[in-house]
Structure 1
Amino acid sequence: MRPTLIPTLETERLLLRQQTMDDWPAYAGMMMSEHAQYMEGPHTMAEAWGLFCHDLAQWPLLGCGALMIDNRETGDCVGQVGINHGPLFPEHELGWLIYPKYQGKGYAYEAAKALRSWGFGERSLATIVSHIDPGNYPSRKLAERLGAELELDPDRPGPEVLVYRHKK
């Protein structure tokens, strides 16, 4: 497979773009806080750095990865959305995180919908799932709003994860 260039996607309110070192402080702050509880956190700085690098490294290796989410009007980075793959993910996995002060504004829905469309369209992915902690009710609700359905007996990275399947 030829490496995929990292796309830049636009929605009505958002710009989804490649991450830069300027994104590290806010990302690290989130991943090292209690807000990362549904992402196997809080993480140490070393773990957060590994995740940050993983999100970027997937692009040349696997043709997918994470994009930062910017509010087009303000320029503020509000979070991240990504399609993960590789040895830790049985299928392509759509995930999102929104920094606490930007939650509840529909950014995750808008960004996830755009990247999912890119994955099914531009990348011609056969399947996309979302792995969600059972206690993360906002993400479960978002997956359902996106039209994903909870699978009862899926292939998953661990027994503590719910799998929501997205439809083309």
Structure 2
Amino acid sequence: MTAPTLETERLVLRPMRMEDWPDYLDLMRSDRSRYMGGPMPETAAWGLFCQDVAQWPLMQHGALMIEDRATGRCLGQVGINHGPLFPEHELGWFVYGHAEGKGFALEAARAMRDWARDTRGLPELVSYMDRDNHRSARLAVRLGAVLDPKAPRPAPEDLVYRHFGQ
């Protein structure tokens, strides 16, 4: 499966492109990536970037970049992760600093969640997150997810928020 393009009122969720790499790398090298295993060296960031792309043909899901419809500016990423590193299908997101606090992550995550349910037929998703990532936890709750303390997780200290077929 090739990565789709999804549209919302303000956003285009589109396949990743090589020109997305510099901003992605900057984020992964920065303290903003601390809730995603960072800051990390370029080699580790490149591995994640490639993993996000590779999941589409391998798993029929993956990451999409979040683009502002009005300006064409890339705002961050949203995706569905699974495979040997994730016990369940995970809905994940991040936005770059300039896009934070404007509702873009919520809008993009809602669209990706709905695509996963309606197009891929995934009845449930989870969001794994660092215990200190309070902003993402609030976003998961706004999406309708509930904390699931019994869920399997990739890291024992992670919180798991479960999204039931909203």
Shorter-chain TM-score bucket reads over 0.9
> Partner letter of residue 89 of structure 1?
F
Query: Post-superposition shift, 1:88?
Result: 0.3
| 1:11 aligned to which of 5, 8, 11 | 8
User: After superposition, what is the alpha-carbon deviation per residue over 1:125-157, rounded to whole angstroms, capped at 9, x for unaligned?
Assistant: 132000011100000000000000001211111
Matched, 1:137 2:137: no
User: Which residue is equivalent to 1:104?
Assistant: 101
Query: Post-superposition shift, 1:98?
Result: 0.2
| 1:162 aligned to which of 141, 156, 159 | 159
User: Which residue is equivalent to 2:46?
Assistant: 49
Q: Secondary structure at the match of 1:147?
A: coil
Determine the C-alpha separation between the residues in 1 that align with 2:141 and 2:122. 20
Runs of 5+ unmatched residues, structure 2: none
User: Which residue is equivalent to 1:59?
Assistant: 56
> Partner letter of residue 48 of structure 2?
L
Q: Secondary structure at the match of 1:92?
A: strand
Q: Secondary structure at the match of 2:93?
A: strand
Matched, 1:32 2:47: no
> Partner letter of residue 134 of structure 1?
R
User: Which residue is equivalent to 1:91?
Assistant: 88
Determine the C-alpha separation between the residues in 2 that align with 1:120 and 1:54. 22
Q: Secondary structure at the match of 2:27?
A: helix
Determine the C-alpha separation between the residues in 1 that align with 2:68 and 2:115. 19
Determine the C-alpha separation between the residues in 2 that align with 1:122 and 1:72. 23
User: After superposition, what is the alpha-carbon deviation per residue over 1:65-107, rounded to whole angstroms, capped at 9, x for unaligned?
Assistant: 0000000001100000000010001110000010011100000
Determine the C-alpha separation between the residues in 1 that align with 2:84 and 2:123. 17
Aligned residues: 165
User: After superposition, what is the alpha-carbon deviation per residue over 1:24-45, rounded to whole angstroms, capped at 9, x for unaligned?
Assistant: 0000000011010000100100
Runs of 5+ unmatched residues, structure 1: none
Identity, % of aligned positions:
57
Question: What's the C-alpha RMSD, in Å, of the aligned pairs?
Answer: 0.6
Query: Post-superposition shift, 1:50?
Result: 0.3
| 1:151 aligned to which of 143, 148, 152 | 148
Query: Post-superposition shift, 1:158?
Result: 1.3
Determine the C-alpha separation between the residues in 1 that align with 2:86 and 2:65. 21
Answer whether contact 2:131 2:158 (CA < 8 A) is retained. yes
Query: Post-superposition shift, 1:167?
Result: 1.3
Structure in which a larger fraction of residues adopt strand: 2
